[in-house]
Structure 1
């Protein structure tokens, strides 16, 4: 961990970045963990300090109670990150993580009159764009089928019954959080928002992604890259380059 007193049960670092470089906080997808961003951190270590949020109920936090709402996840993420938020910090959220990043940014606006330097919203439609989904109500077989469809989980893990028993509770809790989320209209953010999606992602289309622009008074950009919902696995270098360019661009 770097130069912070953040809650290290929630906030993880993988590589030491430049002492005075920008800080990027990454928020994982449903069922995901901080370690998903280890390789992303490695790509950016020469220019940025990359941190990632570790939600409860997975990996080394397996015994911690899962949080079943985006509001709870955002509140606890905000609390853990609070020591960082008095200085420039950017957010990158993928899928569910984009929603949590948005709500943490909203808490910053409400409580600190501040904003992240930029919000990268990856693989997720804008908060105001609703789809009625109920994956969390499916039985275990139905939930596993959804994971296989999205290709976000190693297929070997999905075939390991012991591992499945460990990950399915957090997966179901995360899907419940995502699918029960309802956007509460309020003042827009002031920071730039960049939406990034895979061109073949069935979970978000370009119109839904462009609607992120309605949630800020700052600059909005949309980037569409090859791939599906987990395009980031194949496009990690391209996304890392995109993030670095925007964070290091002259003001």
Structure 2
């Protein structure tokens, strides 16, 4: 009898939504069941107020994720950049609630949670803000060059960036679950040393993986990423 697919709960990076990960639910059988989580203020939740505090976001998202994964004996949490710190805090919040929590934490394109950014985008005017975010992300989405789309999308991106820039970890107590840190091998924003800082967040097994590409490697290398996770 074939084994059941491994559920992988996926948290968006700044400015994105669950739609990015919904594309991962199609394609070949990888032994992974992708479960995208939507954040308020985007896509079907565009009328909702976006989060501006990572700890508050984790407190609200953790019960939702507990419900989404209730039928599974184990699941993984995956997040890229902002999504990585959200996953980390959600794992802590689930632990605080007495929930078994994820069986594995996958953090991508992110330094350890204690490493803040020296250069900030919060508070800049629109064009300077977008230029700074482009430096952070390594790309600029074409939608921000359309005035109508910019007006729609900019508040969510500003809220996400502020949430990331103001983030302070809730605890320095190590987690008791395996952690895998994944990085694009040519990522100019997150160094190998920074990505390996996640080793310190767990007293369990730690694995570091590099995949082809830069900071947004996952946009072009989803198959390689999901194969890496399937090899857990």
Q: Same fold (TM over 0.5)?
A: yes
Q: C-alpha displacement at 1:46, in angstroms?
A: 4.9
Q: C-alpha displacement at 1:69, in angstroms?
A: 0.7
RMSD: 2.0
**2:5 matched to 1:21?**
yes
* Match among 60, 65, 76 for residue 76 of structure 1: 60
2: CA distance between counterparts of 1:234 and 1:199?
A: 13
1: CA distance between counterparts of 2:51 and 2:195?
A: 26
3-state SS of 2:94 partner: helix
* Match among 169, 181, 197 for residue 183 of structure 2: 197
* Match among 170, 176, 184 for residue 184 of structure 1: 170
Q: C-alpha displacement at 1:153, in angstroms?
A: 4.9
* Equivalent residue, structure 1, for 2:107: 121
> Tell me, which stretches of 5 or more residues in structure 1 are unaligned?
1-17, 247-251
Q: Deviations over 1:131-179 (max 9, x none)?
A: 2332122111012223444355532x12211001000000000000000
1: CA distance between counterparts of 2:207 and 2:28?
A: 21
* Mapped contact 1:44–1:50 kept (Cα < 8 A): no
* Equivalent residue, structure 2, for 1:131: 117
TM-score by length of 2: 0.90
> Tell me, which stretches of 5 or more residues in structure 2 are unaligned?
none
* Equivalent residue, structure 2, for 1:217: 203
**2:138 matched to 1:154?**
no
Q: Would you say how many aligned residue pairs link Structure 1 and Structure 2?
A: 228
Change (3 A) 1:178 1:127: same
Change (3 A) 1:46 1:238: closer
1: CA distance between counterparts of 2:206 and 2:61?
A: 24
1: CA distance between counterparts of 2:117 and 2:151?
A: 28
3-state SS of 1:112 partner: coil
3-state SS of 1:212 partner: helix
Please give the residue correspondences for 1:103-118 in structure 2 after superposition, counting only pairs within 5 Å.
103-112=89-98, 114-118=100-104
3-state SS of 2:26 partner: helix
